């Protein structure tokens, strides 16, 4: 069995019926107790991601969720639309119920304004009328709290619904007894009705705010075109994007969005890829260039061949990654989870102690009851449960808009604490496209030597070989029909072969006995890689190849160092070339001559020094090092293996994206800390104040309703975050 099979498959479910953090914590505990299930439940997203082994299946998850008192639906391509329609229907129904509750509650609360003064009791509504007004609010409008409390208790837990149902029922029950038996006591119908109305208002505001936290992924989904113009038997036919297959040729007219990932066959245009990279400047596209689904075509028409369709487009991958990140749980959430699991029983115990204490202290049953109700009503586990996931959802969404894809919340949390950043050189610090910069003739003219070198290298896959072939092709006056005989590649040295009977070798100066050559030394000191062409012992020419530093690399290194991050460059180049590139980039520390397989060992060595070590790379040979790092970044233009191994992917091939990602991590973690502080301080202050009799149940209900709204609203402030690297380059 493969490792993937051992780990199991991950399935996502839409969960219905959760009302607070106690619900999500209890459901997660229930699922994790089942054989073959490993679950992560997200209250804000109303999702459960479950890893299933062969011991469990989807039906078992649905059954376990139902037994816990909730509903579960397997997420598929249509789930989001069905969910939106259902949520809109429920929201509209709750809006109607809220206004009915307001209509019934206002007379009860309004009478309180006229009850102050010597004869205030004369302005009190008849108690039978108060009972008539309060009862529908308590048992019809407030039925959702009874239903939620029953399901929670049936499942062996307790949630916010238990607190609201218990507190308001105590107020209504006491007032009803006083009314029916004509007792000389104050009634609290207005308290129970007002609490239910205010909590319902808070839930409606919370639902609106929570819907906004997922706007980023919704906007990505809306970008996907529905149809495409596809070539069939020489005719252009409009068809659904879902029907396209790899290899299909499609047309993108001026102003249209690209339907799927592809490669330009013919035509020229500029394409705005801001939705992928965050860069506002359009990129020129011509034959051979790649185009991506949902990017906006400019003025020209492009005829393209599909390379990625359906779930295999870059956009689909982004949506998938953002969804996974939004559903993941940051380590900082663990404390809130532990507190939420014992929150409701603790509050009930405090309320009981408050009731008993006040009854003994004052001898007034009504006063003791009111203070106990205030304790039950003001306690809010929702704020704790929403503090982390709402910030994660908004933060990862904003990251996706800026071309930063976060694989999971844990990586986002660690990124803020990076102390050491290891950088691959080629393709990360540099553009990754080596070019021949110098040709030094010796025993042969430069152009002829370059043509011979290009012929030798045409069968090699080495990046330097491609640079030599490109330079040789550029100086040819016509087609070169000469053949290479006896071609042989010597790993780590170079290549050799015969052209027109001449035995030629092209490779490193050390291999060819030129290590002490002054010209070779000067070129290497300039940060260039040197190769030479020899015939026997005679040197025909010396070539210098350089991979230019990305324009933004020096600024990125500077900003990383300003954050106190130690930057280390890892490269397989010789020490002289590495030193030159490092100096140009503003890097003081580097490791030269590192073979691809040794990069992971270099990262482990850095980790041994303490701190949080991150790695940035773009190639297949960087994947082991990326996996070894505490936090890993893949440059988007890199290989699939590097992207798969990385915690964060930078769609824009720009090192400044790492600076942006660290800034995003700091901003998101800042919001999480603020949210947790607000949630904790609210409960730490509110519950004692209620227990001391300093809070009326109505005020407590309003405070509880607004606590969750304030936490979600604070998270939404992250929408103001923008990558600073876009300006001032």
- Residue ranges of E strands in 185-244: 227-232, 235-240
Sign of the CA dihedral with 275 first, then 276, 279, and 281 last: negative
Residue 494: strand pairing partners: 490, 507
Written as six digits, the tokens of 512 are 């060819």
Tell me the C-alpha distance between 537 and 697, whole Å: 97
DSSP 549: B
Tell me the C-alpha distance between 728 and 725, whole Å: 7
Contact 514, 520 (CB under 8 A): yes
| Cα angle value 120/122/128 (rounded, 5°) | 120
Residue 613: strand pairing partners: 420
**Looking only at Cα atoms, what is the longest distance across the chain?**
121
Active-site pick, 161, 261, 424, 630? 424
Tell me the C-alpha distance between 548 and 433, whole Å: 8
Q: How many CB atoms lie within 10 A of CB 367?
A: 16
Tell me the C-alpha distance between 479 and 660, whole Å: 48
Tell me the C-alpha distance between 146 and 169, whole Å: 10
Tell me the C-alpha distance between 238 and 529, whole Å: 51
Three-state DSSP class for 697? helix
Q: Is 424 a catalytic residue?
A: yes
What DSSP string runs through 476-540?
-SS-----EEEEEEETTTEEEEEETTEEEEEE-TTTTT-TT-HHHHHHHHTT-EEEEEEETTEEE
**Positions marked active-site:** 424
């Amino acid at each position: 069995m493969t490792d993937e099979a051992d780990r199991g498959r991950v399935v996502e479910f839409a969960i219905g019926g959760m009302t607070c953090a106690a619900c999500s914590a209890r459901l997660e505990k229930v699922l994790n107790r089942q054989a073959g299930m490993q679950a992560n439940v997200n209250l804000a997203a109303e999702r459960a991601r479950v890893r299933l082994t062969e011991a469990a299946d989807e039906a078992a998850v649905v059954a376990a969720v139902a037994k816990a008192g909730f509903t579960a639906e397997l997420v598929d391509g249509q789930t989001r639309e069905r969910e939106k329609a259902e949520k809109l229907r429920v929201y509209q129904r709750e809006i109607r119920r809220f206004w009915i509750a307001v209509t019934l509650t206002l007379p009860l609360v309004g009478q309180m304004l006229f009850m102050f003064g010597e004869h205030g009791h004369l302005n009190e509504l008849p108690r039978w009328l108060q009972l008539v007004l309060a009862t529908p609010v308590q048992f019809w409008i407030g039925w959702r709290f009874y239903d939620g409390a029953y399901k929670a208790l049936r499942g062996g837990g307790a949630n916010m619904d238990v607190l609201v149902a218990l507190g308001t029922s105590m107020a209504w029950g006491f007032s009803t007894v006083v009314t029916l038996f004509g007792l000389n006591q104050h009634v609290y119908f207005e308290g129970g009705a007002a609490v239910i109305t205010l909590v319902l208002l808070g839930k409606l505001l919370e639902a609106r705010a929570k819907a906004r936290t997922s706007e980023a992924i919704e906007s990505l989904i809306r970008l996907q075109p529905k149809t495409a113009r596809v070539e069939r038997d020489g005719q252009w036919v409009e068809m659904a994007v879902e029907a396209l297959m790899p290899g299909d040729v499609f047309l993108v007219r001026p102003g249209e969005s690209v339907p799927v990932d592809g490669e330009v066959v013919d035509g020229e245009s500029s394409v705005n890829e801001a939705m992928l990279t965050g860069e506002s400047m359009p990129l020129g596209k011509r034959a051979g260039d790649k185009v991506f689904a949902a990017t906006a075509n400019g003025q020209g028409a492009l005829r393209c061949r599909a390379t990625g369709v359906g779930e295999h487009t870059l956009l689909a991958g982004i949506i998938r990654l953002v969804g996974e990140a939004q559903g993941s749980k940051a380590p900082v959430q663990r404390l809130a989870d532990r507190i939420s699991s014992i929150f409701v029983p603790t509050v009930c115990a405090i309320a009981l102690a408050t009731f008993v204490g006040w009854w003994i202290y004052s001898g007034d049953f009504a006063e003791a009851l009111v203070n106990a109700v205030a304790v039950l009503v003001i306690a809010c586990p929702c704020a704790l449960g929403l503090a982390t996931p709402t910030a994660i959802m908004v933060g990862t969404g904003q990251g996706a808009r800026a071309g930063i894809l976060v694989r999971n919340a844990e990586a986002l949390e660690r990124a803020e604490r990076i102390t050491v950043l290891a950088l691959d050189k080629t393709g990360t610090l540099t553009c990754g496209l080596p070019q021949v910069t110098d040709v030094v003739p010796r025993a042969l003219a430069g152009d002829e030597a370059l043509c011979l070198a290009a012929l030798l290298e045409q069968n090699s896959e080495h990046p330097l070989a491609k640079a030599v072939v490109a330079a040789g092709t550029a100086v040819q006056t016509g087609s070169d029909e000469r053949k290479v005989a006896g071609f042989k590649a010597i790993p780590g040295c170079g290549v050799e072969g015969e052209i027109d009977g001449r035995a030629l070798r092209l490779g490193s100066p050390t291999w060819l006995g030129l290590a002490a050559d002054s010209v070779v030394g000067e070129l290497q000191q300039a940060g260039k890689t040197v190769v030479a062409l020899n015939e026997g012992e005679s040197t025909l020419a010396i070539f210098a190849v350089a991979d230019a530093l990305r324009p933004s690399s020096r600024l990125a290194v500077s900003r990383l160092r300003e954050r106190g991050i130690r930057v280390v460059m890892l490269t397989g180049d010789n020490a002289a070339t590495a030193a030159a590139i490092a100096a140009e980039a503003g890097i003081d520390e580097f490791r030269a001559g590192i073979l691809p397989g040794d990069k992971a060992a270099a990262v482990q060595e850095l980790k041994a020094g303490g701190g949080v070590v991150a790695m940035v790379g773009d190639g297949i040979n960087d994947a082991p090092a990326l996996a070894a790092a505490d936090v890993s970044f893949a440059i988007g233009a890199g290989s699939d293996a590097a992207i798969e191994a990385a915690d964060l992917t930078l769609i824009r091939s720009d090192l400044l994206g790492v600076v942006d990602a660290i800034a995003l991590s700091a901003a998101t973690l800042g919001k999480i800390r603020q949210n947790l502080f607000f949630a904790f301080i609210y409960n730490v202050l509110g519950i004692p104040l209620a227990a001391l009799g300093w809070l009326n149940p109505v005020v407590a209900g309003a405070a509880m309703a607004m606590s969750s709204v304030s936490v979600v609203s604070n998270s939404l402030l992250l929408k103001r975050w923008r990558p600073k690297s876009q300006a001032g380059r």
